[in-house]
Structure 1
Amino acid sequence: MKKTLTAALLLATTAVTACSATEPQPVRQAAKSTVAWAPCEDLTGPDGKPLNDTSLECGSVPVPLDPAKPEGEKIDLALIRIKATGDRLGSLVFNFGGPGASGVDTLALAAKLFASLGTRYDLVSFDPRGVERSSGVRCGQIEKYLSVDMEDLDSEKLTKEFVAACAKDSGKVLPHVGTVNAAEDLERLRTALGDAKLNYFGLSYGTHLGAVYATRYPKNVGRFVLDGAYDPTVTFKERAVTQVKGFKQAFDAFAKDCVAQGCDLGGDPAAVQKSVDELLAGLKAKPVKVGDRDLTSGLAEIGVFAALYSTFTWPVLEQAVAAAVKGNGQALLSMADSYVGRKPDGTYSTMMTSVQAISCMDSAERPDDAAIAEVEKATGEIYPMLRSGGLGLLCRNWPVKGDDAAKRIDATGSAPIVVVGGKGDPATPYEWAPKLTAQLKTGVLLTYEGEGHGAYLSGSSCVTRALDTYLLTGKTPAPGTTCPAA
């Protein structure tokens, strides 16, 4: 059997030009927020201890469970805010990706990374519908599906068990998640915040949500950054193949860098790959004990590929694999836990379940066995370690139908939208950035030559300067702007 379920759960230039002379887009005066902000009560740090930060405020906005029935049952969207420290322009709303990342948790931990923007904006984020505190999708004991070695099991049977658990635990919300409905929630959030325009920073999947919002509400688009662009028109096969190529490129870049720095995993890139392959094969035969848990081949694989998202974690990956080869799997298991949302107390966030629910609702595709086998063959030929049928098997068994409404992007009439693509981005490969830019009609492309998922957090002063200038003054980067690797 192929690694269909595990891999599907893992997967959803040379010069800097000056900023253009485009006149800044004015920031319209905001009305008063109707959100009842209060101190946050349930935030924890990576160590599981309460996060006592008085700058953080939490609140909620009620939205209809079924947007087609605005007067019907409501659910609450959980919000977080950090008030501007200087002369306030308005709110800047973040979506950190996934789909399924908790904006509440992420902004609480990552606020300092956006401190330059926090001088002028209230930094705001939220858990989208179907995510964590906002009626998050839950699917039974997720650890069961993450830790198994799929080659030894019937992936069709396991997938059906997983989907049945989702329907049992979250059947009420499943028909109403998806990016189109989340975009409608964004408009309700803009109104509740009292902002005349929505200023927005979307990363990874957040670029898709932002693009759908701009399509539906082009006149309400303020200053928009879409970093780590996703092309929503891709099929399941195209998505899987492109991402596998991206992760192979990222691993090769890691291996080359590791060797250049003096690598514990081998003297050349091929030897580094061999070390990882042998580790995974050994864990498949005999998992390594980490306390009362097992580091399985499936979890180790997740840990490896989680570390490829950023060059900052490449040294950690080298050390974690080297330790696991010697029988100490703690670091690699911790990396996998962080990626899949496992908390210190053994519970899980909804990240790995929300992503499936939203992805399957955003596509009408329900591929048959032949189509899934074709994807497995194509990805296996590119990179055997990530051979997968992509989202096909999960979505084929999903208990509610999806549609293609979120694939249609056209923001004609909106203010300029800055789209950022990184040449070494493994999760949202660069080719998607110019495609999303073209679909928007109002997009302005900024290219980053370096490695890692998301350019703003790459450490590139060029990218930071260009995007901060745009968000703080309204001046868009000049067409064709590129930034070198950090």
Structure 2
Amino acid sequence: MRRPATSRTLLAATLVTATLAGCTAGPSTRPEVISNDGPAAPASAGDKPGVPLPPLEEPKSPTIKWTDCDEETRARIDQPAALGALKLSCARVAITVDAPDLPNRGLSRMSVLKVGTGSIPLVVVNDIDGDPGTLFAAKLAATAPPELLAKFSLIGVDRRGSGQSTPAQCIPGNVRSDLLDQDPAAESGIEAVLDAARKAGQQCAIELDTNQTALDSWRAAGDLDQLREELGMSKLNALGHGEGSRVLTGYSVRFPSTTGRIVLDGAPDPGPDTAAALDAVAAGLQSTVDGFAKDCAQRKCALGDASAVLTSVVDKMRKNPSPDAGAGIALYAISSGLAQRARWPELADALGAANAGDVSKLTAFIEPMLSDTRVRPSRLDGALATKCNDSATRLPTDQIQKLAQTMRTKYPLFGGLVAQQLAWCSPWPVRREPLPPAGTPNVPPVLVITTANDPVTPLAGTTKVADQFPTSVRIGWQGTGHGAFTFSPCVTDAARAFLIDGKIPANGTLCPS
């Protein structure tokens, strides 16, 4: 198996801004956006029962200690100039590890970042394998509506096991490479991934010890309640991006009485059928390739037929892998780039360079997954631990191989790659703790944003999450990318009005691409 010549390679996410002019509701005669300036529950939530949307309140007696971290945070961001004159402050919050075998015991630290001048905290939670929440919040602030930052301060959270919050850092470097650089088209690929997954699981069991199964979204929701208290807030107002929304849905179940204004910008499929959920991810990736190619053509980028060049790059790296990467790394890098719409021009340039023989720009997209340093811990370790602890699905090898073959046939480019993730958790301990049913009628209206073509949290899964909440209000972007806030002006303005003014859009509102 090839080893990376360097222990560095990436994954991230950023976003844009708004005006509600293009918003249209689906086949309905209801208004485009229904206002609710007071705390009363709106009829616009599809006539769903629920508690009132709570009014915004100022913090009372916060105990969190903020210190300036502007310079050090900008050093961790690829394009610090994009942050402009924003000021960044950081803090550490004590949390209880609460491992299954040691309930309510153990202490750790959670890293948080504040950006914006508003007096009311708005907690931001990102995908576990994307930018750490602190960096994601800083980047989000650079593109968010100014009114949002005048009303709120964004509070980015590095979830337990990630970023600067006592990162997992338990998978050996060569094993990370083995997990990610197996050729998805090869019949032997699944066996090799299973072998790497066993090594990763064994080492994580040793390194993390009793904390191995404490890295999950359910406990991360408890961390947010500790943060809420230290922020001096009676209610948690928050925005979840993609898989990070799982933490907020868990929060609403655990702490319904302190749930405030919540926006979910995409959400993972909550169902137990992991294979079906991954099938939708593979379909979403293919749809995103089409959107990327269309965008490339509209911008008159140098690739010409972007879809054809993308396929050509993968074929070349399959036939003539470099010392740093083969087809597996290429596909993971491409899928990372596709998930970050703001970086599509950069992805196009990287594909052009790779097609000409220089793969360094392309492999940079997967660098944060492979690279592991004190300042920039690998995102793979915490992501694997969290996703495995969140899932109760463990499939036998023969079933994984069968599903992989089916997905390779159905989605020739990405099917095999996505199917490999079925093997990642095979050796991981299965969750023993039962969780309460998702969704509760005792929370305020939750704004759920869907995206028609999302390569990470597909439309179908996000819709299921919305259906679990009796008080959910769904607004859909008919575009392509991972998350719609702040890419769709229509969605962005609706979310801004929901968070700041308490205006709730008509359930089923559609925003144009």
Pick the TM interval, shorter chain: 0.7 to 0.9
Could you tell me whether the CA contact under 8 Å between 2:84 and 2:142 is conserved in 1? no
**Residue in structure 2 matching 1:409, options 434, 438, 450:** 438
Q: Tell me which moved more, 328-337 or 471-480.
A: 328-337
In the other structure, the counterpart of 1:419 is 448
Corresponding position: 1:216 with 2:254: yes
Structure 2: state its 5+ residue gaps. Answer: 2-9, 12-21, 26-30, 40-53
Offset at residue 418 of structure 1 (A): 0.2
| Cα distance in 1 between the residues matched to 2:479 and 2:354 | 29
Q: How does 1:234-383 map to 2 (within 5 A)?
A: 234-259=272-297, 262=300, 264-265=302-303, 267=305, 272-288=306-322, 294-337=324-367, 340=369, 342=371, 348-383=376-411
Helix, strand or coil at the partner of 1:402: coil
In the other structure, the counterpart of 1:197 is 235
- Taking a change above 3 Å as real, the CA distance of residues 83 and 323 of structure 1, as seen in their structure-2 partners, is closer
Q: Kindly provide the amino acid, as one letter, of the partner of residue 269 in structure 2.
A: D
Helix, strand or coil at the partner of 1:396: coil
- Taking a change above 3 Å as real, the CA distance of residues 420 and 380 of structure 1, as seen in their structure-2 partners, is same
**Residue in structure 2 matching 1:179, options 210, 217, 223:** 217
In the other structure, the counterpart of 1:61 is 93
Offset at residue 118 of structure 1 (A): 1.5
Corresponding position: 1:484 with 2:512: yes
- Taking a change above 3 Å as real, the CA distance of residues 295 and 341 of structure 1, as seen in their structure-2 partners, is closer
Q: Kindly provide the amino acid, as one letter, of the partner of residue 19 in structure 1.
A: V
Corresponding position: 1:122 with 2:153: yes
Offset at residue 227 of structure 1 (A): 0.5
TM-superposition CA deviations, 1:232-257 (whole Å, max 9, x none): 12422012101001101111232344
**Residue in structure 2 matching 1:97, options 127, 134, 140:** 127
| Cα distance in 2 between the residues matched to 1:469 and 1:49 | 29
- Taking a change above 3 Å as real, the CA distance of residues 461 and 262 of structure 1, as seen in their structure-2 partners, is closer
- Taking a change above 3 Å as real, the CA distance of residues 407 and 261 of structure 1, as seen in their structure-2 partners, is farther
Could you tell me whether the CA contact under 8 Å between 2:128 and 2:162 is conserved in 1? no
Runs in 1 of length 4+ with deviation above 4 angstroms?
47-54, 67-71, 259-267, 345-348, 403-407
How many residues in Structure 1 have an aligned counterpart in Structure 2?
Answer: 462
**Residue in structure 2 matching 1:452, options 481, 496, 499:** 481
Could you tell me whether the CA contact under 8 Å between 1:250 and 1:308 is conserved in 2? yes
- Taking a change above 3 Å as real, the CA distance of residues 259 and 373 of structure 1, as seen in their structure-2 partners, is same
| Cα distance in 2 between the residues matched to 1:326 and 1:282 | 10
| Cα distance in 2 between the residues matched to 1:48 and 1:430 | 30
- Taking a change above 3 Å as real, the CA distance of residues 276 and 406 of structure 1, as seen in their structure-2 partners, is farther
TM-superposition CA deviations, 1:134-156 (whole Å, max 9, x none): 22111121653366334476332
**Residue in structure 1 matching 2:469, options 428, 440, 465:** 440
- Taking a change above 3 Å as real, the CA distance of residues 103 and 282 of structure 1, as seen in their structure-2 partners, is same
Offset at residue 394 of structure 1 (A): 1.8
Offset at residue 304 of structure 1 (A): 1.5
TM-superposition CA deviations, 1:383-422 (whole Å, max 9, x none): 1222143433221111x32257468312211111000001
Offset at residue 31 of structure 1 (A): 1.5
| Cα distance in 1 between the residues matched to 2:475 and 2:281 | 20
The TM-score, its normalising length taken from structure 2, stands at 0.82
Q: Kindly provide the amino acid, as one letter, of the partner of residue 327 in structure 1.
A: G
Could you tell me whether the CA contact under 8 Å between 2:194 and 2:426 is conserved in 1? no
Offset at residue 441 of structure 1 (A): 1.4
- Taking a change above 3 Å as real, the CA distance of residues 385 and 457 of structure 1, as seen in their structure-2 partners, is same
TM-superposition CA deviations, 1:107-155 (whole Å, max 9, x none): 2344222343110112112111111222211112165336633447633
Could you tell me whether the CA contact under 8 Å between 2:182 and 2:328 is conserved in 1? yes
TM-superposition CA deviations, 1:453-483 (whole Å, max 9, x none): 101121x221111110110011111222111
- Taking a change above 3 Å as real, the CA distance of residues 19 and 48 of structure 1, as seen in their structure-2 partners, is closer
| Cα distance in 2 between the residues matched to 1:257 and 1:322 | 15
Could you tell me whether the CA contact under 8 Å between 1:100 and 1:350 is conserved in 2? no
In the other structure, the counterpart of 1:18 is 32
- Taking a change above 3 Å as real, the CA distance of residues 83 and 257 of structure 1, as seen in their structure-2 partners, is closer
State, as a whole percentage, how many aligned pairs show the same letter. 26
- Taking a change above 3 Å as real, the CA distance of residues 265 and 201 of structure 1, as seen in their structure-2 partners, is same
Q: Tell me which moved more, 39-48 or 191-200.
A: 39-48
Offset at residue 75 of structure 1 (A): 0.6
The TM-score, its normalising length taken from structure 1, stands at 0.86
- Taking a change above 3 Å as real, the CA distance of residues 77 and 262 of structure 1, as seen in their structure-2 partners, is closer
